[in-house]
Amino acid sequence: MPADPRIAPDIVCKGLAKRFGDVVAVDPLDVTFRGGQTTALVGPSGCGKSTLLRLVAGLERPDAGSIRIGDDTPDAVRAQAGLAIAFQDPSLLPWRTARGNVALAQRLAGQRVDAAAIDAMLDLVGLDGFFDARPGALSGGMRQRAAIARCLITQPRLLLLDEPFGAVDELTRRKLSEDLPPIWQARGTTTLLVTHSVTEAVLLSQRVLVFSPRPARIVADIAIDLPDPRPGQETTPAFIDLAEQVSAALIGGEGPSPRRLAAQ
């Protein structure tokens, strides 16, 4: 995907560190996420990859080090409504309809609430006919679709996805990861995707970073050079080979001792 560095600048983290009390979440870490790409962050639970995402979003303050998104700090990008974040829990406001939840993002971003654009976006994510449904009346998958619509409506330069398909069943998860990523990939939005699923990482990204257990250290940096569209390639030798590379790095980073696993 062609990436214009002015629209999709690289994210450069230097000497980034974060601890919560005695727990070291991120040890000094240097990493660059390329603009316009989707980078998948894979690692054992609690390894600090979500913290890394929150640091990039400016939702946490680093104890040391710096993050630059192009020439801007995360706070500056946030203030320009240049980023959007989606969590494992769709976090829709239960009293607002699907439309209302998407409109809230525009309102918070200081943009004009554009009813036509909202309807078009809800249509695009596959919520046709549920525009005025409240989250309580939507299925888990539909809620996640609404959450992605909320993310995309403000035209963010940077999309941060923290296991967005993690809380739904396997079938829904597959359907979502076929339907939704093409929307933001078509825009060339820089995307960081935290995921537990090796398949999802290979399916959705141009690059997979594998993290060790806490404190987060990058144990593998694997380029995913599969042609698009990816769905349907899961059984090809190239795909399986990449997936096994990621799995091997994950197991290697975990260390051979089962006791260490039990201790987590």
> Taking CA 51 as the corner, what is the angle to CA 49 and CA 53, rounded to the nearest 5 degrees?
75
What is the identity of the amino acid at 230? R
What is the identity of the amino acid at 122? L
> Least CB distance from residue 46 to another protein, whole Å?
17
> Least CB distance from residue 258 to another protein, whole Å?
28
> Least CB distance from residue 99 to another protein, whole Å?
14
Q: 61 or 260: whose CB is closer to another protein? A: 61
Residues facing 137 on adjacent strands: none
> Least CB distance from residue 150 to another protein, whole Å?
8
Q: 107 or 260: whose CB is closer to another protein? A: 107
The b-or-e profile of 146-167 (16+ CB within 10 A means b, else e) is bbbbbbbbbebbbbbbbbbbbb
CA pair distance 46, 107, nearest whole angstrom: 33
Q: 87 or 211: whose CB is closer to another protein? A: 87
Residues that bind another protein (CB under 8 A): 54, 57-59, 75, 78-81, 83-85, 87, 89, 91, 93-95, 104-105, 107-110, 134, 136, 154
The count of other CB atoms within 10 Å of the CB of residue 258 is 9
Q: 78 or 214: whose CB is closer to another protein? A: 78
Q: 101 or 212: whose CB is closer to another protein? A: 101
Return the structure tokens found at 96. Answer: 């607002």
What is the identity of the amino acid at 13? C
Burial class (CB in 10 A: 0-12, 13-18, 19+), 262: exposed
Return the structure tokens found at 233. Answer: 């390639």
The position carrying tokens 């695009």 is: 124
Instruction: Give the distance from CA 210 to its chain's centroid.
Output: 14
> Least CB distance from residue 90 to another protein, whole Å?
9
11 near 33, Cβ under 8 Å? Answer: yes
> Least CB distance from residue 183 to another protein, whole Å?
19
Q: 125 or 158: whose CB is closer to another protein? A: 158
